[in-house]
Amino acid sequence: MFALLFMTPAFADDPLLGHIDEEAIHWSDLDGVGDMYVNKTCPYASPGCVRQTQQDVFAQWLGIQLSERALEDAGLPVTETFVDARIADVATSFKLETVDALRVKVEEDGMPWEVYRRSMRDTLVEARMTQFLQLSGIQPEAWMGWAMERYGVELNR
Parallel, antiparallel or unpaired: strands 16-20 and 23-26: antiparallel
Range of the domain at 19: 2-155
User: 11 Cβ partners below 8 Å, 6+ apart?
Assistant: 27, 34, 35, 38, 50, 54
Taking alpha carbons only, the member of 87, 75, 74, 70 closest to residue 124 is 87
* pLDDT for 155: 79
Three-state DSSP string of the chain: CHHHHHHCCHHHHCCEEEEECCEEEEHHHHCCHHHHHHHHHCCCCCHHHHHHHHHHHHHHHHHHHHHHHHHHHCCCCCCHHHHHHHHHHHHHHCCCCCHHHHHHHHHHCCCCHHHHHHHHHHHHHHHHHHHHHHHHCCCHHHHHHHHHHHCCEEECC
Residue 82 contacts residue 92 (beta carbons within 8 Å)? no
- Reading the chain (157 residues) residue by residue, the pLDDT tens digits are 222 223 334 445 777 888 888 888 887 877 666 777 788 888 787 888 887 888 888 888 889 999 999 999 999 999 999 999 999 999 999 999 999 999 999 999 988 999 899 999 999 999 999 999 988 888 887 888 888 898 888 877 6
Q: What is the CATH number of the domain that holds 141?
A: 1.10.4030.10
Q: Phi and psi of 24, rounded to 5°?
A: -65, 135
Domain count for the chain: 1
